[in-house]
Amino acid sequence: MKRIALLVAAALLVSVVFAAGAFAEKKPEYTLKLGHLANAEHTWHKGCLKFAEIVEQKTGGRVVVQVFPNEQLGKEMEVIGNIQSGIVDMLITGESMMNWAPLCGLIAVPYMIRDSAHMEKIVEGEVGQAIEKEVIEKVRLRPVSWFERGARNLTSNREIKKPEDLNGLKVRVPNVPLFVATWEALGAKPTPMAFSEVFTSLQQGIIDGQENPYDLIKSASFFEVQKFVNMTEHVRGWIYLVIGEEKFQSMPKDIQDIILEAGKEAQVYERQLFRAEQNQLVQDLKDKGMTFVEVDKAAFMKVAEPAVLKFLSPELQEMYKKIVAIQ
């Protein structure tokens, strides 16, 4: 009898060890590849890592998300195509989607969004829902999170408080027709050029100023050749973390729900990091000797608005007016 009990115990032990080994070696049901352009220190990347962590935890390992920063999976437009082809699964993207979904052109329009609170009302409200619907239907991508981008601000070697102060200031801008037209309307002389040429051009006096978010002002060392950060905040926008719609629909409902929940949680996490980083960047630039100048943003917006509206289609003009009216 004792021998039988020992044999039963041994058999149970073997079965437990075998089951544990099988569980440990069990492969995930889904492995999602997520690519983006930011580096490993960026808050977007940290937000994506948090998303991956939450998804794996909440699905019990059934879904694993592999995150690839620094365009390791390709440039943004290439990755969008690869998602549509089923080669990649997720990415961070924004106004590039306007090639398919015109409403995405609203993601980076000058003097449309006043502040972070205004942006949240836009993205989480009727306008944001319309953009997401168009992205799902026309781009075949489904937003699961959105991350705020740093506002673009003007740097210069003289204070700029109102549009009249620009007075022909030669400002480097990206080669974006809407940006060029906006700065022309404001009274500057916009000069499109590659970002890599900006520091030397400022140093040599080819241009007088440039406009970028705080993180790029710092990383490009513009504080060495510019004295003032004029807080124009002329472009505020956001970016989406998206998953391919075909991939999303191929998953069972419980996993779909977890992905959407993880997206919202990662969004809250990234936003906390972003806001702390913005405050630190301001202090870092002040420590480097830059002076921050308060700007009459209402005056800038009033002058810029006709130029902005001229570039928007009738549909986008209607949405623009809705956005500006949101309180």
* 28 SS3 class: coil
* 273 SS3 class: helix
- Residue 27 DSSP one-character state: P
CA 130 to the chain's CA centroid: 18
| Weakest-pLDDT range from 24-28, 35-39, 165-169, 243-247 | 24-28
Provide the H-helix boundaries in 141-292: 177-186, 198-203, 214-219, 245-249, 253-287
Evaluate if residue 8 carries a pLDDT over 80.
no
Q: What is the CATH number of domain 28-149+237-285?
A: 3.40.190.170
- Give percent of the chain with pLDDT exceeding 70: 92
Mean pLDDT of the region 155-170: 96
Other beta carbons within 10 angstroms of residue 23's beta carbon come to: 9
The tokens describing 221, both together, are 């060392």
Crossing angle for the helix pair 253-287 and 43-58, nearest 10 degrees? 150
At residue 161, what are phi and psi to the nearest 5 degrees? Answer: -110, -25
- 18-26 long-range contacts (CB < 8 A, ≥24 apart) are 26/61
* pLDDT bucket at 195, cuts 50 / 70 / 90: confident
Evaluate if residue 54 carries a pLDDT over 60.
yes
Mean pLDDT of the region 205-225: 94
Task: Considering only residues 292 and 26, tell me which one the structure prediction assigns the higher pLDDT.
Answer: 292
CA-atom Rg of the chain in angstroms: 25
pLDDT 10s digits, 83-111: 988 999 999 999 889 889 999 989 989 99
* Residue boundaries of the structural domains of the chain: 28-149+237-285, 152-235+294-325
In sequence order, the 6+-apart residues with CB closer than 8 A to the CB of 285 are: 214, 217, 218, 223, 229, 292
Q: Are 69 and 92 in contact (CB under 8 A)?
A: no
Evaluate if residue 22 carries a pLDDT over 70.
no
Considering the four listed CATH numbers 3.30.70.330, 3.40.50.170, 3.40.1710.10, 3.40.190.170, the one that applies to the domain covering 152-235+294-325 is 3.40.190.170
Same topology between domain 28-149+237-285 and domain 152-235+294-325: yes
- CB crowding 213-236: b at 16 or more within 10 Å, else e: bbbbbbebebbebbebbbbbbbbb
| Residue whose tokens read 């019990």 | 60
pLDDT 10s digits, 72-86: 999 888 999 999 889
The tokens describing 54, both together, are 């939450």
Distance CA 176, CA 274 (A): 26
Crossing angle for the helix pair 126-134 and 116-124, nearest 10 degrees? 60
Quote the pLDDT of residue 139: 95
